[in-house]
Structure 1
């Protein structure tokens, strides 16, 4: 998947064999940033044979419980279900991190402070998610 096929609010790049999807906006809005665009970025990567993903949310400063961080996590889980893929989240801070941990999503999609830690985790032999 090339960066050109991803939505403008998602930066997509390959780093050490891991597809890193970075949300480049500070606040997600369901009308401006439809989850179907995020899901399509994942589906395209899976179709291309990729199985290791990091969702970098370091730019995200605000979220609510209806949309935002939780919606991204659930969308990723649905898109990658039964594909043998591994995914981790990194870069969460402040309110978005509190929402993620409060919802206990890290039980299914582990959260790491840095992108490097997340890449190492999904690159490890044992599956995470």
Structure 2
């Protein structure tokens, strides 16, 4: 029989993976219209979606809900999973803009830098672009 903690970890790590078939069903047509390198676009989109889901799950794990604690076998184990999920989410979300900028590297390095570090000549818009 599977333990509660293994079941809880399977759910937490499995939910982001369930997003991949849903992403595939909503196939982004704009990728081919722009004739971009699909590998960078697809991995960027999947990483962004999975990172967002994992970040959301890490927030749920930090709520100290009793039934979540019981499922994981204690608050310390919930926070260990919260920490691990948060690290993975951070790197997946960080990969998203890097991959989108990297698609321009062989052809136009200037365009990649402009994409990675946009400047709109207005501080509020620049900070909003850099935050996302």
TM range (shorter): under 0.3
TM-score normalised over the length of structure 1: 0.27
- For the pair shown, which has the larger CA radius of gyration, 1 or 2? 2
Higher helix proportion: 2
TM-score normalised over the length of structure 2: 0.27
Higher strand proportion: 1
